[in-house]
């Protein structure tokens, strides 16, 4: 059974002015939202999906316009849109319909660019909460997301413990590790070193395409694994010349460069910088007396999913989260999957994750 495109509703929700953690206020914030399924009369069947760094609100689609989580969500799928009302929002700071650095600053009539304020994961979650309120939704059945999406899931459980019943953080962490901060900074330096970045005020120019492509390449190597690259590329060349030739390109290089170029065509470099920064600030314990104190606020059930081969958010980070919740007597489960895809398994391994998520939702 395939969901028809008619079942996906796209809209933009105006949430008004938003005071940010940094002390600045964004006027006239808009958030892009997509919904699939039907809100129940009791309004108790909402599944909120939080996307990762370069994701967007189009988690669920159809054959003509596939969503990035179609393998998990749809009619009759693991998260069944015949049963749940699935809501996905594009994050604050993004570039796919929500207010971000490329949006017009109402005060100046020009894009924010370098003047766009720093945004945190907590800011994103506050804005999501207000977006749902504007849509008439006060309670959420389940919040699910991987990577940066998983950070939002955790913050939801802490900031709005009474508003959410179930949390499913996937391939994520309670606080971004120094190694992940390091990788983020390489991407950041690549973008900011590109002369076309122009200090962030490059609109309506093309922006730092080369820098953003390199940043994406840095991301890709952390999202995948040695094993996968061995299986897929070995040392094969793309070109029919000897390896030592100036014109030689290995298939893995060709693949990575293609991934870089592909992102440049669909993503804004300033948004990328904004979201890297938001991830860097992710530490549930910040300003709350540490991780344990922060997690103590959670009232929801939690299914934590980790990937053993994840190089970016190491499995030990999910285990730490699980142990802490259990020690506090919370209703938490940990499920570890193995996958050569590494971190990106949360966007690929639906047959492995799906049944566990379905069982958790039914349990």
Binding site, residues?
216, 344
Pick from 94, 97, 169, 211: which binds its own copies (CB under 8 A)?
Answer: 211
The answer to the question of residue 243 lying near its own copies (CB under 8 A) is: yes
Residue count at the site for its own copies (CB under 8 A)?
55
Contact 78, 355 (CB under 8 A): yes
Closest CB to its own copies among 39 and 181? 181
Q: Does 109 sit near its own copies (CB under 8 A)?
A: no
Nearer to its own copies, 221 or 334 (CB): 221
| Site track for its own copies across 223-242, x = CB under 8 A | --xx--xx-xxxx------x
Provide CB contacts within 8 A for 187, sequence distance 6+.
Answer: 214, 215, 216, 218, 219, 272, 276
To which H or E segment does residue 221 belong? Answer: helix 209-223
Chain residues 11-30 in contact with its own copies, contact rule CB under 8 A: 21-22
Instruction: Check residue 95 for interaction with its own copies (CB under 8 A).
Output: no
Q: Is 250 in the site for its own copies (CB under 8 A)?
A: yes
Q: Is 147 a catalytic residue?
A: yes
Burial of 63 (0-12, 13-18, 19+ CB in 10 A): exposed
* DSSP state letter for 342: G
CA 104 to chain CA centroid, Å, is 24
Sign of CA dihedral 223, 227, 228, 233: positive
> Binding of its own copies at residue 81 (CB under 8 A)?
no
Decide if 235 contacts 250 (C-beta within 8 A).
yes
Distance CA 193, CA 275 (A): 18
Residues in touch with its own copies (CB under 8 A): 21-22, 118-120, 175-179, 181-183, 185-186, 189-190, 193-195, 210-211, 213-214, 217-218, 220-221, 225-226, 229-230, 232-235, 242-246, 250-253, 256-257, 260, 277, 280-281, 283, 286, 311, 314
Catalytic residues: 147, 310, 343
């Amino acid at each position: 059974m395939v969901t028809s495109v008619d079942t996906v509703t796209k809209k933009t929700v105006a949430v008004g002015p938003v005071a940010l953690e940094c002390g600045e206020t964004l006027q006239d914030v808009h958030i892009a939202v997509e919904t699939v399924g039907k809100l129940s009369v009791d309004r108790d069947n909402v599944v909120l999906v939080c996307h990762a760094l370069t994701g967007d609100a189009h988690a669920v689609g159809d054959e003509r316009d596939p969503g990035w989580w179609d393998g998990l969500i749809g009619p009759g799928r693991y998260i069944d849109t015949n049963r749940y009302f699935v809501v996905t929002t594009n994050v604050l700071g993004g570039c796919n319909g929500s207010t971000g650095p490329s949006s017009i600053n109402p005060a100046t009539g020009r894009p924010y660019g370098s003047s766009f304020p720093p945004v945190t994961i907590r800011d994103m979650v506050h804005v999501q909460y207000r977006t749902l309120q504007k849509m008439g939704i006060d309670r959420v059945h389940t919040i699910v997301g991987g990577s940066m999406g998983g950070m939002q899931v955790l913050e939801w459980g802490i900031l709005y413990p009474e508003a959410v019943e179930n949390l499913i953080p996937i391939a994520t962490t309670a606080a971004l590790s120094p190694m992940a901060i390091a990788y983020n900074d390489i991407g950041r330096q690549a973008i900011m070193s590109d002369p076309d970045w122009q200090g962030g005020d490059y609109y309506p120019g093309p922006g730092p395409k080369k820098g953003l492509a390199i940043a994406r390449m840095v991301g890709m190597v952390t999202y995948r694994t040695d094993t996968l690259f061995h299986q897929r590329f070995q040392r094969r060349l793309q070109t029919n010349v000897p390896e030592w030739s100036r014109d030689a390109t290995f298939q893995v290089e060709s693949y990575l460069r293609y991934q870089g170029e592909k992102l440049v065509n669909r993503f804004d470099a300033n948004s990328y910088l904004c979201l890297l920064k938001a991830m860097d600030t992710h530490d549930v314990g910040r300003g709350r007396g540490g991780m344990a104190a922060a997690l103590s606020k959670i009232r929801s059930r939690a299914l934590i999913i980790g990937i053993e081969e994840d190089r970016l958010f190491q499995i030990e980070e999910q285990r730490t989260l699980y142990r802490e919740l259990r020690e506090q007597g919370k209703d938490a489960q940990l499920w570890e999957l193995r996958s050569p895809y590494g971190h990106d398994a949360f966007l690929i391994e639906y047959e492995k994750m799906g049944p566990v998520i379905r069982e958790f939702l039914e349990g």
